[in-house]
Amino acid sequence: MDPVFFPFTFITESMARDLRACFDRIVVFMPSGLQVPKSMSLLGDRDWLSMVTPFKTGDVELEAFLKNYWEWADLHGPRHLRQIAEQIPNTSFYDNSSVYRLFEEIKTRYRDPGAMKKQSSRRSEFIFQSRIFLLIAQEFDQRTWALRQDLATVESMEYDFYKNLHAKENGFAINEPRDGLYRDGHERSYMFLERLTAWSCFLFEAAASAKIFITTSQPIVDRLIKSIPGVETVLSVNKIPVRGLGNVAAVNWRKNLRQWLAKYTDMKETGDEKVFPHPPEARKGEATLSLMVYRVDQAPDKWLGRATGVESLLEEAHGNRQNEKATLLAYVKVKEDNLSI
């Protein structure tokens, strides 16, 4: 049972490598089959992740809509876009002050009236707007990552120049600058609630059957824990070494962890399952990360729906799913000294 990565639809190679310290492969849901980053396709070819497109229709319409969005942005300039970027994260999904007000303006100007009739239901409109937002956020993440890579390259050149300039004759550098700022994997808390709300659209489709979800975002974890009572911490492991795929101890750790998590999703009570797998011991100087696992006796759509305020929409689609046993949330925290430029 591969965990589902959320609420992002873009993941870098370094982050995927870190997640593989605990999981052989992760699942990433994509808002459109026409907008798949090449770097992620390469990770898919390595079997590091599995990209799933839950929605099988509407990609062409989404592409046209996104094109109109960028035309709108070019027309209105950075001043209006800055107002959108500065939205308060906890605004209601359907509030007029929300970023989704932008979609209404574009829809009025560009969208085909016949297409609007087909998307007249509240649920369909929510899914359509969410997919649009996720595509914009995905491109934002991809561009941000590319910019950080460029800045990191310049910073590395600057560091080498500084080191050579101030090096002593014996080869020891003095007055070295502090570690770089442009690191892949920094916290992506930008509009985190809007991201989580939009990502919940996947729960109408394939993600409804998922039981284990994984994130690297502390704000997302905090939001989910506070949204519903009865959230239990079932696992807390520190100093998990990030090793190559062929390491026997690492392979056994991932296998045992996968089996242990699968048991927890089927248990009605967690009191009987106290023994958890232990990761291999980290060597001195080895890059490590930590893993926290939370469990709640609710279906995924119930938990995320409560956290985002779209619970009623999800209940319309799935009903009152009382037979669901548990949902697990895994939080992987990468230490700052792991992040390489």
User: Which residues make beta-bridge pairs with 333?
Assistant: 290
Number of domains composing the chain: 1
Query: Is 45 within a domain?
Result: yes
Place of tokens 């232990």: 278
Amino acid at 3: P
DSSP 111: S
Q: Which tens digits make up the pLDDT trace of 144-153?
A: 888 877 777 7
Query: Is 213 within a domain?
Result: yes
- Look at residue 85 in the predicted model and tell me its pLDDT: 43
Residue 93 banded pLDDT, cuts 50, 70, 90: very low
Closest CA to 234 of 333, 103, 330, 108: 330
Place of tokens 């958890």: 276
* Token code pair at residue 52: 């799933």
For residue 323, with 0-12 CB atoms within 10 Å meaning exposed, 13-18 middle and 19 or more buried, which class applies? exposed
pTM of the model: 0.77
Sign of CA dihedral 280, 273, 220, 4: positive
Residue 83 banded pLDDT, cuts 50, 70, 90: low
- Look at residue 183 in the predicted model and tell me its pLDDT: 47
Query: Is 16 within a domain?
Result: yes
- Look at residue 84 in the predicted model and tell me its pLDDT: 47
Tell me: pLDDT of 221 over 50: yes
Mean pLDDT of 274-278: 76
Query: Is 228 within a domain?
Result: yes
Question: Do the strands 212-215 and 4-5 form a parallel or antiparallel pair, or are they unpaired?
Answer: parallel
Amino acid at 159: Y
Query: Is 13 within a domain?
Result: yes
Residue 184 banded pLDDT, cuts 50, 70, 90: very low
Query: Is 176 within a domain?
Result: no
* Token code pair at residue 194: 């809007």
Tell me: pLDDT of 95 over 90: no
Query: Is 155 within a domain?
Result: no
Domain limits for position 229: 1-139+189-341
Q: Which tens digits make up the pLDDT trace of 101-114?
A: 555 555 555 455 55
Catalogue the E-assigned strands of 37-191: 49-52
Tell me: pLDDT of 185 over 70: no
Tell me: pLDDT of 252 over 80: yes
Which one has a higher pLDDT value, 167 or 51? 51
Tell me: pLDDT of 181 over 80: no
Query: Is 171 within a domain?
Result: no
Please name the residues in contact with 103: beta carbons below 8 A apart, sequence gap of 6 or more. 129, 132, 133
Question: Do residues 125 and 119 lie in contact, with contact meaning Cβ atoms separated by under 8 Å?
Answer: yes
Amino acid at 277: P
